[in-house]
Amino acid sequence: MTRYPRDLSGYGANPPKANWPNGAKIAVQFVINYEEGGENCILHGDAASEAFLSEIVGAAPWPSQRHWNMESIYEYGARAGFWRLHRLFTKHRIPATVYGVATALARSPEQVAAMQEADWEIASHGLKWIEYKDYAREDEKADMLEAIRLHEEVTGFKPRGWYTGRSSDQTVDLATEIGGLDYVSDTYADDLPYWYQSGSRDQLIIPYTLDCNDMRFATPQGFNSGDQFFTYLKDTFDCLYAEGQAGTPKMMNIGLHCRLIGRPGRIMALERFMEYARSRVDVWFARRIDIARHWQNAHPPVRRDRPSQMDAARFVREFGGIFEHSPWIAERAHGLELGTSHDSAVGVHSALCRAFRSASFEEKLGVLKAHPNLAGKLAAAGELTAASTVEQASAGLDLLTDNERILFTSLNETYMEKHGFPFIIAVREHDKASILAAFRRRIGNSIEMEFAEACRQVERIAHYRLNDLLEPHQAGANS
């Protein structure tokens, strides 16, 4: 048995209504990454110089050496870029969240004071702006705890949000384990916040973005001019705004860096976008902490039994009767690679059908023979399974006239004599007239054709039974 940890389903085709404040059609959220003074540098005790997100595209780390040009580019962000951004945001009275690297904040008291004066949220961007993919769990956790301690020491407050950025596969679990955070943003998986379960804890995730992000000025196949950046932001806004008007409001993340967008040749594109977004009605400009608090209140976490996490006995107990009198199908399905994508009626149906389809001919025939005749002796004696009783009643087969009962009995006997198994049809898709029409039409099929059709109908029946069992519990499950 294997269990797949990634969630490839999310909210699916029907995301929850965000219900943004005042009926907003979109939540627009700007992040200012403050990393200057926290990047890789041997002055900071690192093994080499920084090589990421600068004007030096394709830069390589210099082991045991300072990279003067790289350092001065980062210094530009703190000395000039930050203040240009500060003037722009305060001019337009647009709130922002800062992803603040703790050591960078400690080296920039004037900038921190300006952030707080503007009432920007300062979330944690980790202890240092370094790569954590190769860190041992205990070492990464130690850096997280020190980042939180230093953040509070510098700002006077514990961070309410977290984003490592150059994260490991354990970052989100560690942040959840440490606790005390209103949200974590080390994912790019959705246009809406969602709840993440790690052990006994529920952690709110507010996904971030790498596409509506000025980092693409410093990467191959990125933005070469402010016009490209503006156009991309505008197109993103227009798409999400239209979805909001259609009834499914989303969130637009915009990621900024002082040393990148803070350059004169780029910041005007950002201002043009601000002016464009502000010209639309029903737009909520929010900090990430505002979004987190809204989501916590409007969409609290909902815990439910997850089929992919059930042990074999529980799984068979729940789903062993979906295929008539054939619990072995559920037993085999439980041994497949299951994950969060299987924690729904569609997902369990997929797993059960895979087990059924991979069975031998004799096993499939046994499943067909386990089905009762329509309006047959078992129905008359009240000995159908509960599911079959409901299904036959849904098509009125429990209220047959004497003539109809005689007709069904005759058709059942003729069909069984020719094909060797009962006539099977997903009766919820039919009424008595269409069932009788299908009965007469299918009796003439070859045994091979009818065997294949009967197997398809068994899967359709399973679909409806699983919907009855699981769909009432699906609403809001991922909110």
- Residue 250 DSSP code: E
Name the strand (E) or helix (H) holding 314: helix 312-319
Backbone angles phi, psi at 102, to 5 degrees: -60, -45
Strand partners, 123: 99
Which stretches of the chain drop beneath a pLDDT of 70?
Answer: 1, 375-384, 389-400, 472-479
- Enter the tokens of residue 297: 């209140």
3-state helix, strand, coil in the chain (%, to 5): 50, 10, 40
Residue 445, phi-psi category: left (phi > 0), alpha (psi -120 to 50), beta (remainder)? beta
* Three-class DSSP category at 257: strand
Cα–chain center distance at 137: 25
Residues 6+ apart with CB under 8 A from 305: none
Give the distance from CA 220 to its chain's centroid. Answer: 28
Q: pTM for this one? A: 0.88
Told to judge if 67 belongs to the known catalytic residues of this protein, a careful annotator would answer no
CA atoms within 13 A on the CB side of 332: 17
Q: How far apart are CA 425 and CA 383, in angstroms?
A: 19
> What sign for the dihedral angle of Cα 41, 42, 44, 45?
positive
Cα gap 458→145, rounded to integer Å: 55
Instruction: Report the amino acid identity of residue 169.
Output: D
DSSP state of 359: S
The answer to whether residues 330 and 319 touch, using CB atoms and an 8 Å cutoff, is yes
Q: What is the pLDDT of residue 478?
A: 44
Give the whole-angstrom CA distance, residue 397 versus residue 384. 13
pLDDT of residue 313: 96
In the chain, DSSP finds a helix count (H) and a strand count (E) of 18, 11
The pLDDT of residue 17 is: 95
* DSSP collapsed to 3 states, 130-197: CCCCCCCHHHHHHHHHHHHHHHHHHHCCCCCEECCCCCCCCHHHHHHHHCCCCEECCCCCCCCCEEEE
Tokens, residue 282: 């029903």
Tell which residue, 327, 324, 445, has the closest CA to residue 374.
324
pLDDT score at 49 = 86
Q: Is 471 helix (H, G, I), strand (E, B) or coil?
A: helix
The pLDDT value recorded for residue 186 is 96
User: Could you tell me the two tokens for 75?
Assistant: 């210094």
3-state secondary structure (DSSP) of residue 60: coil
H helical segments located in 342-385: 345-357, 361-369, 377-380
Across 318-328, b (16+ Cβ under 10 Å) vs e yields bbbbbbbebeb
Contact in structure between 227 and 325 (CB atoms under 8 Å): no
Torsion sign (Cα): 117, 122, 127, 133: negative
Looking at 334, 371, 419, 463, which residue is catalytic? Answer: 371
